[in-house]
Structure 1
Amino acid sequence: MSKTKHIAVYGKGGIGKSTIVSNLAAAYSKDKKVLLIGCDPKADTTRTVVGKRIPTILNILKEKRNVKKEDILFRGYGNVMCVESGGPEPGVGCAGRGVIVAMKLLEKLEVFQEKPEVIIYDVLGDVVCGGFAVPLREDFADEVYIVTSGEYMALYAANNISKGIKKLKSNLGGIICNCRGINREVEIVEEFAHRINSKVIGVIPRSELVQKSEIEAKTVMEKFPETEQALKYDKLSKKIFANQEFVVPEPIAVEEFEEFFRTFQ
Structure 2
Amino acid sequence: MAKKIKQIAIYGKGGIGKSTTTSNISAALSTLGYKVMQFGCDPKSDSTNTLRQGKYIPTVLDTLRDKPNVKAQEVIFTGFNGIFCVEAGGPAPGVGCAGRGITTAVQLFKQQHVFEDLDLDYVIFDVLGDVVCGGFAVPIREGIAEHVFTVSSSDFMAVYAANNLFNGIKKYSNAGGALLGGVIANSINQPYAKDIIDDFVKQTKTQVVEYVPRSVTVTQSELQGKTTIEAAPNSAQAQVYLSLAKKIAAHEVSKVPEPLTVSELREWAAKWADHLLALETGTIEGAKAGI
Equivalent residue for 1:232, pick from 226, 235, 240: 240
- 1:186-213 deviation digits (Å, cap 9, x = unpaired): 1101111111110001111001111111
**Are the counterparts in 2 of residues 24 and 233 from structure 1 also a CA contact under 8 Å?**
yes
**Are the counterparts in 2 of residues 224 and 230 from structure 1 also a CA contact under 8 Å?**
yes
**Helix, strand or coil for the counterpart of 1:244?**
coil
**Are the counterparts in 2 of residues 197 and 247 from structure 1 also a CA contact under 8 Å?**
no
**Under a length normalisation based on structure 1, what TM-score does the superposition of the two structures give?**
0.96
**Does the C-alpha gap of structure 1 residues 128 and 172 become closer, same or farther in structure 2, counting only changes over 3 Å?**
closer
1:62 aligns with 2:57: no
Q: CA deviation at 1:182?
A: 5.7
Q: CA deviation at 1:135?
A: 1.0
Rounded to whole Å, the distance in 2 between the matches of 1:69 and 1:12 is 28
Rounded to whole Å, the distance in 2 between the matches of 1:140 and 1:37 is 12
Matches within 5 A, 1:176-191: 176-179=184-187, 181=189, 184-191=192-199
Q: Which residue of 2 aligns with 1:25?
A: 26
- List gaps (5 residues or longer) in structure 2: 274-291
- Following TM superposition, the consecutive aligned residue runs of length 4 or more in structure 1 with deviations greater than 4 angstroms are 180-183
Q: Which residue of 2 aligns with 1:53?
A: 56
Rounded to whole Å, the distance in 1 between the matches of 2:119 and 2:73 is 16
**Under a length normalisation based on structure 2, what TM-score does the superposition of the two structures give?**
0.88
Matches within 5 A, 1:100-249: 100-113=103-116, 114-169=118-173, 170-179=178-187, 181=189, 184-249=192-257
Q: CA deviation at 1:183?
A: 6.2
Rounded to whole Å, the distance in 2 between the matches of 1:183 and 1:231 is 20
**Are the counterparts in 1 of residues 163 and 259 from structure 2 also a CA contact under 8 Å?**
yes
- 1:138-167 deviation digits (Å, cap 9, x = unpaired): 221101001100001000111001000100
Rounded to whole Å, the distance in 1 between the matches of 2:219 and 2:70 is 35
Matches within 5 A, 1:246-261: 246-261=254-269
* RMSD (CA atoms): 1.4
Q: CA deviation at 1:244?
A: 2.7
Q: Which residue of 1 aligns with 2:42?
A: 40
**Does the C-alpha gap of structure 1 residues 108 and 249 become closer, same or farther in structure 2, counting only changes over 3 Å?**
same
Rounded to whole Å, the distance in 2 between the matches of 1:109 and 1:90 is 29
**Equivalent residue letter for 2:38:** L
Q: CA deviation at 1:60?
A: 0.6
How many corresponding residue pairs? 265
Q: How high is the sequence identity, in percent, across the aligned residues?
A: 47
**Helix, strand or coil for the counterpart of 1:150?**
coil
- 1:27-53 deviation digits (Å, cap 9, x = unpaired): 001110001101111111111112211
Rounded to whole Å, the distance in 2 between the matches of 1:182 and 1:43 is 32
**Helix, strand or coil for the counterpart of 1:123?**
strand
- List gaps (5 residues or longer) in structure 1: none
**Are the counterparts in 2 of residues 4 and 116 from structure 1 also a CA contact under 8 Å?**
yes
**Does the C-alpha gap of structure 1 residues 70 and 2 become closer, same or farther in structure 2, counting only changes over 3 Å?**
closer
